[in-house]
Structure 1
Amino acid sequence: MNSTEANYDTYYSLPPDDEPCSLKEVRNFTKVFVPIAYSFICVFGLLGNIMVVITFAFYKKARSMTDIYLLNMAITDILFVLTLPFWAVTHAIDAWVFSDALCKLMKGTYAVNFNCGMLLLASISMDRYIAIVQATRSFRVRSRTLMHSKVICLAVWLISIIISSPTFIFNKKYVLQEHYVCEPQYKSVSEPITWKLLGMGLELLFGFFIPLLFMTFCYLFIIKTLVQAQNSKRHRAIRVVIAVVLVFLACQIPHNVVLLVTAVNMGKMGRDCSTEKVLAYTRNVAEVLAFLHCCLNPVLYAFIGQKFRNYFMKIMKDVWCMRRKNNVPGFLCARVYSEGYISRQTSETVENDNASSFTM
């Protein structure tokens, strides 16, 4: 990726008449800001996405492609945020203290799950388009798609691994300015700048532009269809769709603008020191903002819907019942569980597969 890769060199080369550009104050900022931000994202990202996994595992059977995508996205977000403590420690002590193998594994997992999450967002938008805009023939199309759901999800994972392969190959643990770092090293290739630009290009393409293209196309037609529906529930769904798009843009645009600027400046000599400092600060904040999307995904795509809110309340009741089982008579817990089970079975029986888990 970016800020955890070769972007925090202490000095940049400037013209001979100038002094070296020290980014020490930026590094001091990241020692405090990044560990705190990553810890917050890790805790809340784990809680929210684990709740989604629990919901699908014990309360709601995945009956549509959107449900399957939601489950896969929750898994990718969990794997992604589990890498953040390693980077929090690295930023806090300004050195990579783990092994070379763990360096490759963490960088690779970090990249694969970030890209996979973005592609799944694109897949969700396409499934919602088919379900709402192409409603008259969506049952046939989506039932056929559901039969191949495992193949589709496997393809998304494989594409993510392929486009993240340079991360596995080039990242390694080595000494830089008297500190061990976990960053890409291109000594084995003849055109290092080309490989760096290739990695950034793949990340920009699959981590932003393709999901943005799908979401823009699909959600514009979805909103148009919902507006014409003249239904209060549909109008409420429009607000959810708009929220999904706005949050995606707010989280991803700053991060990807920084990527573009970094790619344009790569290889340039005589870069202005003050500009480099501003870019370094912006890079840290923008990346944290992009990662915050992992915490917001469960809220936007799952619990904002009435069905998932009901399942969430059932989980809370069951957890409360388990904690009180030593103090509450057994028949009361059994009755709570039985009522919840009957209610769950009834709601799943009448569930319409064309209804979205996050817009209805």
Structure 2
Amino acid sequence: MTGEETTILDYSYMDILTPCDKNEVRNFTKTLLPVAYSLICMFGLVGNIFVVMTFALYKKTESMTDLYLCNMAIVDILFVLTLPFWAVNYALNRWIFGDFMCKLIKGIYALNFVCGMLLLACISMDRYISIVQATRSFKFRSRTLAYRKVICLTVWVASILISCPTFIFSGSYQSTNVSNDICEHKSSTEFDVTLKLLIINIQLFFGFFIPMLFMVFCYTFIVKKLVQAHNSKRSKAIRVVVSIVIVFLICQVPYNMVLLVTAATMKTLDKTCQSEKQMAYAKYITETFAFLHCCMNPVLYAFIGVKFRNYFVKVMAGLCCVRYKNCRNTHGSRPSSDTAHSRQTSEVYD
């Protein structure tokens, strides 16, 4: 039996044949991550619940973008509800919730990652159609609205299928370098390592690179079209689009590059302890920024819009007046005669 065959590779602690002491890394995560994940959970939960409430109580998902935003808020809520488990895990430096919860929580993260990116791609495509293909977008978007449930169901089914390997192969077990249980994909044989590499590559390809290509393509033409257009709201629209792309890149690119490098070097046996520590630091720091994206989505895709803010204020006013029994019919003021052109314009520029 060769040394490579007896090596146990672990994604979190990157075990190799010669154990590497990573106590300083674990002390770092024990201090930083419980606080960071708790804050992300709190702000992400509040922001996304407000988004769902606004769509459910007032906005009624009038467009495809609205429907995508609502679905994104739902998948973000599912994800932030798992962060307290990770906060406890890093605070105690061990996994105490058992094998089933490990599979469920790891699977929900994979689902959030893939589904969130696919929905971002759908949003960018919808905005591309409404701006760049504006002359023929109304007929096409009317057809997509008729099949909106099918489109969203397809996104969810595709996300679940891509995430299934994470549900199946994750588990709670004891690592060779750590005396306590950890929650990770078990990689004790060469076949397990190959399978894990395949899973990571599939999820990166469908959950990151394809949506990123869609976003780059769509937003490049959107900005080009807005620059050429003579519209008083052009500058604001460009700022919104640029903000979306910048936040997406800042949050997601570093973490996914770390995952890519980790996957490419999993079978390398000549890694130094220092390089392992650097990769561990990079993973945890970039992972925190990637998780932060679920807090930014409500701001970038919802609260930054004037129309959505107006709806949100009316929802809050309605809830307050119910509480204090001093109601006016806030929902009765909802506009009902918007033309197709004005709806398209408000989606883009608000």
With structure 2 as the length reference, what TM-score do the two structures score? 0.91
Cα pair distance change 1:105/1:144, threshold 3 Å: same
Residues in 2 aligned to 1:288 and 1:203: alpha-carbon distance in whole angstroms: 19
Cα distance in 1, alignment partners of residues 346 and 75 from structure 2: 21
Relative to structure 1, the CA distance from residue 61 to residue 10 in structure 2 (aligned partners, 3 Å threshold; closer, same or farther) is closer
- Shift in Å, 1:94: 1.3
Query: Does the 8 A contact of 1:118 with 1:208 survive in 2?
Result: yes
**CA 1:151/1:13 → structure 2, altered by over 3 Å: closer, same or farther?**
same
Q: How does 1:172-187 map to 2 (within 5 A)?
A: 172-176=171-175, 177-186=178-187
> For 1:86-125, what per-residue CA distance to the aligned partner results, in whole angstroms no more than 9, with x for missing partners?
1111111111111222221111112112210010000000
What letter is aligned with 2:338?
Answer: V
Unaligned 5+ runs, structure 1: 15-19
Aligned counterpart for 1:6 among listed residues 4, 10, 22: 10
Give the letter for the 1:55 counterpart.
Answer: T
Aligned: 1:287 with 2:287: yes
3-state SS, counterpart of residue 181 of structure 2: strand
Tell me which residue corresponds to 2:266: 266
Measured after TM superposition, the shift of residue 287 of structure 1 is 0.4
1:10, 1:24 within 8 Å by CA — same for their partners in 2?
no
- Evaluate the alpha carbon distance shift between residue 356 and residue 271 of structure 1 in structure 2; reply closer, same or farther with a 3 A threshold: farther
- Paired position in structure 2 for 1:26: 25
Offset at 1:358?
A: 5.8
Give the Cα–Cα distance (whole angstroms) in 1 for the partners of residues 313 and 45 of structure 2.
18
Q: 8 Å contact 2:255–2:287 — kept in the other structure? A: yes
C-alpha displacement of 1:322? 4.2
**How far 1:190 sits from its partner (Å)?**
5.8
Query: Could you say which residue in structure 2 is the equivalent of 1:126?
Result: 125
Return the offset for 1:11: 5.3
Verify: 1:353 aligned to 2:346, yes or no. no
- In structure 2, what is the equivalent of residue 60 of structure 1? 59
* 1:341 alignment partner in structure 2: 331
Question: RMSD between aligned alpha carbons?
Answer: 1.8
How far apart, CA to CA, are the structure 2 residues paired with 1:94 and 1:319?
A: 42
SS at match of 1:182: strand
Measure the CA separation in 2 of the matches of 1:273 and 1:359.
51
- Alignment of structure 1 residues 82-231 onto 2, 5 Å: 82-176=81-175, 177-186=178-187, 191-231=191-231
Identity rate, percent: 57
The amino acid of 2:235's aligned partner reads: H
- The aligned runs of 1:230-309 (5 Å cut-off) are 230-309=230-309
What amino acid maps onto 2:156 in structure 1? W
Amino acid of the residue matched to residue 269 of structure 2?
A: M
- Quick one: distance in 2 between partners of 1:161 and 1:138? 30
Displacement of 1:65 in angstroms is: 0.8
| Matched-pair contact (CA < 8 Å) for 1:96–1:181 | yes
2:3 is matched with: none
Displacement of 1:334 after TM fit? 2.0
- Give the conservation status (yes or no) of the 8 Å contact 1:174–1:182: yes
Distance (Å, rounded) in 2 between the aligned partners of 1:356 and 1:100: 47
Q: Would the aligned equivalents of 1:301 and 1:358 in 2 still touch at CA under 8 Å?
A: no
Cα 1:148/1:174, change in 2 over 3 Å: same
Q: Give deviations 1:215-255, integer Å, cap 9, x for gaps.
A: 11001111111112111113211110011001100111110
Q: Distance in 1 between matches of 2:233 and 2:147?
A: 31
Cα displacement (A) at 1:13:
3.3
- Alignment length (residue pairs): 338
List 4+ stretches of structure 1 deviating above 6 A.
none
Distance in 2 (alpha carbons) for counterparts of 1:79 and 1:267: 33
CA contact (8 A) 2:104 2:167 kept: yes
TM-score normalised by L of structure 1: 0.89
